[in-house]
Structure formats: structure tokens, C-alpha cells
């Protein structure tokens, strides 16, 4: 029996191979179509159309089969994808293949070698280039008609007018702070008239997250369903090792590495006055060696180069398949919402394939006094003899708030005063003495409003101060 054994591994250089692949793709696209228009050849959207144009027993109650829906999907619907990493690459591909053409993508990162095991829109020649740009380029070249617009920027670089233009926003982020910020941004777009929410001001947010073999996908309708902050307790705060363990009582190899990262590096400044860069192999090598030394002092085994890098960069293990699964679930929801073809996920899906395959779907509940979406002013209850430091600790440690570096301002004697701000060194220095002062000393009164700004929210949060006896 004969069979063609094409082994692609030998011979061709990557660039030549890639060009051949692109030619092949183009050839296929052109050959199949009718005449010159490769954009929408006959039957291209057959499968999508079955869902948009046929009635069915499980469709959304408001669904009406129509040939217009396909047009909306293809030409009008504007989607924003946040993140062009593991989830982002999959999302862009899924959305483009489903028919969405107006897709924008934001990502502030550049491509690293360790991305290549799953972020399949990138190749080794792309290392160092912005993820958003390369991803957009790849999709636009391979999928005729698709128009992905990239932004090599942070989400905080854009304001309400930017975000308002999108029909649906999908997140493939790796940071809770960024999620909360996005969440807050969409809340700020909501329009209430006489206390009633205007549905046209709602932009659905579909959020996906993965970690190793676990993942989750959720649908957030700002102002209507549970938001990121409503379920903040589902994301437990990152565990940092206690200082005394790091400084004087290490037991695990991780403790030794943290010691070098947090204490030894700033002290010894081995490469000058530069921050430790987890992507710099020289830096990691130094940390690794010093960690080994510290570990041997305490008879601790297990410090490896891989562990060192993992601890320094807070690496989360990742594989292609989990990202594929979660991105698919998210894209399904985008399709459902954009087409009204089915009732969207209500509202949280958990996935785990460590042991068999496990999914769990439930409705996360809104929190009555959610800091982001409840519009209920938050209370701060402190004694007048409490210090500003006490308030600061509350804002950062409280499970529902989990702020990172809150800046606190208040109107005192008619003037707007910054009580404490961490993010600008000169102001931090100036306001630091306020931390030890009592609220009374600072001139704060019962019922006073405090405005708090933080990276976790695009809008300033208002708190009402209540004095306890």
C-alpha cells in the first residue's frame, strides 16, 4: 500500500515555509470563490446562517430569524478584545472565524519566547514586537475581510469616548487589577434616568481567565448582573510570604528566593540602581546563585533556576488547550449576544480538567453594596482617634475592596486636600506624616466624604466617614 509521506520537518527555512503557507491559503481562497471577490464566496457563512435564519425551540425569547443578522455580525458589530496573549489569540481567531470583522485589540506587551507554546499568532521571528500589532497582522492577512485594529497601549490610556463605541467587550487579561479597572470603566458608562438604567448604555463584558488546567468564563451585563467587584472574594488576594519568614526564618526554597528579590537585591544593587527584571537572564542568574547560597545556609534544598524565575516573575503555568476552551466559551457568548440567537450564559462558568473534565455553571449574585456597581455610597466606620494609616490598611486589606495604593483626598475647611498619595514620590513624602495623625487631628468630621482613587478603578470612589465612639 502506498501513501504519501510528506514530512515537513526537514528542509525548508521558516520564512520560505511561511510564504508557501500564505500562498496556499490565498490559492484556496481564490479557487473556491466565484470570480474575483474573495471576501464572501458562496456558502461562506452557511453554518452561521443556520443559526441566524432558522427558528428553533431553544432560541432566545426575543429572537427572530432574519437575514439581517448576518449583515450586522459581519459589517456592523464592533468588538473590543482586551489582551492578545493566550486567551487573546484564541479569541481573535474565534471571533474572526465566526464572522466578526470590526475587531479592536489592546495589549501593552511585547512577544516573549515563552509565549510561543500557546500564543499561536506569533512566531519566533516576532519576539520583541508588540503582541497587538502582530496578532492583528496575522488575522488580517489570513482571514479575508477581517479588519482587526491593534493598540499597543494600556487599557488606562483610553477614556469613556473610546470604550463607548463597542457593542461587546471581551477580556483575556492576566490581572485582577486590570479587570476591575475595565469593570469600573463600563460602570461609568451607564446612564441612569430617574434611577432607571438606560439599557442602551450597557456594554456587555465577557471575561475569561485561565491558570494551568483551570479556567472560567463569565458574562457581565453592567448594572444588571454581578460584576467583577461583586465577586471579588472569588479571587483570593495573592499570598505573599510574611516578612519575618523571609528575613529570618526561611523554610522553603521560595522563601530564599524572595529574600534575595526583596531584600538582597535592593541592598547590593548588583547591576547598579536598576529594578530587578525577571526577563533579564543575567538578573535571574544572580538571584538564582544568591538564593542557593541562602538556602544552603539553612539546609534548604530545592532552589532551581526554573523555580527562581517562577517566583521572581510570579509565573502562572499555562497551556494551549485551556486557553482554547475558555476562549471558545467566551466567543460563544459573544456570538449569542451579538445575534440574540440564544440566551447568554447566566452568568459564570468554571472549568477544570485535572481529573476528567469538569464544568460548573452558576449565577453569581450581585452584591447589594458592591463598591463598583451598586451606586451605594461606601461607609467607613472609624473612631476619631483612629489614624489615617488605619483607614489605608482597611482600604487595602478589606476583602471587598482590595485596593493597591489608594490616594485619599477630602474637602477640609472648604479646601480640597490630598491626605495621602503613594504613587508620586514627592507627594508621598509630603503626605506621609499624615498617616500617623488621627482623623480628628487631620480635621475630618463625622459624615465627611472622602474621595479615594486607585488603580483598581477608573473612577474615584466616594466614602462616607462615620465616627464611632
Partner 1 sequence: MAQSAAGKSNKEQKYDRQLRLWGDHGQEALENAHVCLINATATGTEILKNLVLPGIGAFTIVDGHKVTGEDNRAQAATELLQELNSDVSGNFVEESPDKLLDNDPEFFHRFSLVIGVQLIESTCLRLAGVLWNAGVPFLVCKTYGLVGYMRLAVKEHTVVESHPDNALEDLRLDQPFAELKNHIQSYDLDNMDKKDHSHTPWIIVVAKYLEKWYNEHNYQLPKNYKEKEAFRQLIREGILKNENGVAEDEENFEEAIKNVNTALNPTKIPSTVQDILNAEGWKNITAQTPAFWVMARAVKEFVENEGEGKLPVRGTIPDMIADSEKFINLQNVYREKAMQDASVVSKHVESLLQSVGKVCVYKSKKKCKNAAFLRVVRCRSLADECSVELVNKDEITSCMDNPDSEMVLYLMLRSVDRFFQQHSRYPGVYNYQVEEDIGKLKLCVNSLLQEYGLNVNVKDDYIHEFCRYGASELHTVASFLGGQLLDVEFLLNKYGFVMPKTNLFIPFCLNNQKFLFALGCAAQEAIKMITHQFVPFNNTFIYNAMSQTSATFQL
Q: Which sequence positions are flagged as catalytic?
A: 244
Nearer to partner 1, 112 or 428 (CB): 112
Length of the chain counted residue by residue: 469
What the block records as the C-alpha cell of 379 is: 461607609
Q: How far apart are CA 154 and CA 56, in angstroms?
A: 42
Residues 262-291 that bind partner 1 (CB under 8 A): 281, 285, 288-289
How many other C-beta atoms are found inside a 10 Å radius of the C-beta of residue 284? 18
Q: Is 368 a binder of partner 1 (CB under 8 A)? A: no
Q: Which is nearer to partner 1, 352 or 374 (CB)?
A: 352
Q: Is 310 in the site for partner 1 (CB under 8 A)?
A: yes
Is 400 an interacting residue with respect to partner 1 (CB under 8 A)? no
Instruction: Give the x-and-dash track for 13-52 against partner 1 (CB under 8 A).
Output: -x--xx-xxx-xxxxxx-xx--------xxxxxxxx-xx-
Name residues contacting partner 1, limited to 163-182 (CB under 8 A). none
Interface residue with partner 1 among 243, 319, 383, 424 (CB under 8 A) is 319
Is the bond leading into 347 cis (omega within 30 degrees of zero)? Answer: yes
What distance in Å separates the CA atoms of residue 365 and residue 231, rounded to the nearest whole number?
8
196 binds partner 1 (CB under 8 A): no
| Cα separation, 221 vs 301, whole angstroms | 49
The set of long-range contacts for 141-147, using a CB threshold of 8 Å and a minimum separation of 24, is 141/22, 142/22, 142/25, 143/96, 143/97, 144/29, 144/38, 144/39, 145/39, 145/40, 145/74, 145/101, 146/96, 146/100, 146/101, 146/103, 147/101, 147/102, 147/103
Residues within window 417-446 making contact with partner 1, judged by CB under 8 A: none
Residues 95-124 that bind partner 1 (CB under 8 A): 96-99, 113-114, 116-118, 120-121, 124
Q: How far is CA 133 from the centre of its chain?
A: 18
Give the C-alpha separation, 382 to 393, whole Å.
12
The strand pairing partners of 214, in sequence order, are 211, 352
Find, among 197, 461, 233, the residue nearest to 364 by Cα: 233
Could you give the string, one character per residue 63-92, with x where binding to partner 1 holds by CB under 8 A and - elsewhere? ---------------------------x--
Stretch that binds partner 1, among 183-191, 265-273, 297-305, 369-377 (CB under 8 A): 297-305
243 contacts partner 1 (rule: CB under 8 A): no
The answer to whether 213 contacts partner 1 (rule: CB under 8 A) is yes
> What is the size of the binding site for partner 1 (CB under 8 A)?
108
Residues in contact with 307: Cβ distance below 8 Å, sequence separation at least 6, in sequence order: 253, 254, 257
335 binds partner 1 per the rule CB under 8 A: yes
Considering beta carbons, is residue 332 or 457 the nearer one to partner 1? Answer: 332
Q: Which of residues 341-360 bind partner 1 (CB under 8 A)?
A: 342-343, 345, 349, 352-357, 359
Among 3, 196, 272, 413, binds partner 1 (CB under 8 A): 3
In contact, 39 and 145? CB cutoff 8 Å = yes
The window from 7-15, 169-177, 425-433, 454-462 that contacts partner 1 (CB under 8 A) reads 7-15
Amino acid at each position: 500500500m502506498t501513501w504519501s509521506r510528506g514530512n515537513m520537518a526537514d528542509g525548508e527555512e521558516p520564512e520560505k515555509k511561511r510564504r508557501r503557507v500564505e500562498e496556499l491559503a490565498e490559492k484556496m481562497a481564490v479557487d473556491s470563490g466565484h470570480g474575483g471577490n474573495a471576501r464572501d464566496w458562496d456558502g461562506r457563512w452557511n453554518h452561521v446562517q443556520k443559526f441566524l435564519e432558522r427558528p428553533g425551540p431553544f432560541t432566545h425569547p426575543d429572537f427572530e430569524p432574519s437575514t439581517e443578522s448576518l449583515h450586522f455580525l459581519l459589517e456592523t458589530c464592533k468588538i473590543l478584545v482586551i489582551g492578545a496573549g493566550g486567551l487573546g489569540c484564541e479569541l481573535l481567531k474565534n471571533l474572526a472565524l465566526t464572522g466578526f470583522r470590526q475587531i479592536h485589540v489592546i495589549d501593552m506587551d511585547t512577544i516573549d519566547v515563552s509565549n510561543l507554546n500557546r500564543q499561536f499568532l506569533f512566531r519566533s521571528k516576532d519576539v520583541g514586537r508588540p503582541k497587538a500589532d502582530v496578532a492583528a497582522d496575522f488575522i488580517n492577512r489570513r482571514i479575508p475581510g477581517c479588519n482587526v485594529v491593534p493598540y499597543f497601549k494600556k487599557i488606562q490610556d483610553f477614556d469613556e469616548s473610546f470604550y463607548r463605541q463597542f457593542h461587546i467587550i471581551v477580556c483575556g487579561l492576566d490581572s485582577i487589577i486590570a479587570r476591575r479597572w475595565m469593570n469600573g470603566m463600563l460602570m461609568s458608562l451607564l446612564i441612569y434616568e430617574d434611577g432607571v438604567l438606560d439599557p442602551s448604555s450597557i456594554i456587555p463584558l465577557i471575561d475569561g481567565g485561565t491558570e494551568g488546567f483551570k479556567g472560567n468564563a463569565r458574562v457581565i451585563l453592567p448594572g444588571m448582573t454581578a460584576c467583577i467587584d461583586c465577586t471579588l472574594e472569588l479571587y483570593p488576594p495573592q499570598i505573599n510570604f510574611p516578612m519575618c519568614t523571609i528575613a529570618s526564618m526561611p523554610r522553603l526554597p521560595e522563601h530564599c528566593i524572595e529574600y534575595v528579590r526583596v531584600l538582597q537585591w535592593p541592598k547590593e544593587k548588583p547591576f547598579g540602581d536598576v529594578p530587578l527584571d525577571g526577563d533579564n537572564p543575567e538578573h535571574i542568574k544572580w538571584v538564582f546563585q544568591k538564593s542557593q547560597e541562602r538556602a544552603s545556609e539553612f539546609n534548604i534544598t530545592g532552589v532551581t533556576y526554573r523555580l527562581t524565575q517562577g517566583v521572581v516573575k510570579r509565573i502562572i503555568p499555562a497551556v494551549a488547550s485551556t486557553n482554547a476552551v475558555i476562549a471558545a466559551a467566551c466567543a460563544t457568548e459573544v456570538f449569542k449576544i451579538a445575534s440574540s440567537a440564544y440566551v447568554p450564559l447566566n452568568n459564570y462558568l468554571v472549568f477544570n480538567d485535572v481529573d476528567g473534565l469538569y464544568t460548573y455553571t452558576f449565577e453569581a449574585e450581585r452584591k447589594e453594596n458592591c463598591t463598583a456597581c451598586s451606586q451605594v455610597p461606601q461607609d467607613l466606620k472609624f473612631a476619631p482617634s483612629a489614624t489615617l494609616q488605619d483607614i489605608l490598611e482597611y482600604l487595602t486589606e478589606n476583602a471587598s475592596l482590595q485596593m493597591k495604593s489608594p490616594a485619599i483626598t477630602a474637602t477640609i475647611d472648604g479646601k480640597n486636600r490630598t491626605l495621602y498619595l503613594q504613587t508620586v514620590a514627592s507627594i508621598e513624602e509630603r503626605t506621609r506624616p499624615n498617616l500617623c495623625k488621627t482623623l480628628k487631628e487631620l480635621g475630618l468630621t463625622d459624615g465627611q466624604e472622602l474621595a479615594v482613587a486607585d488603580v483598581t478603578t477608573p473612577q474615584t470612589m466616594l466614602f462616607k466617614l462615620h465616627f464611632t465612639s
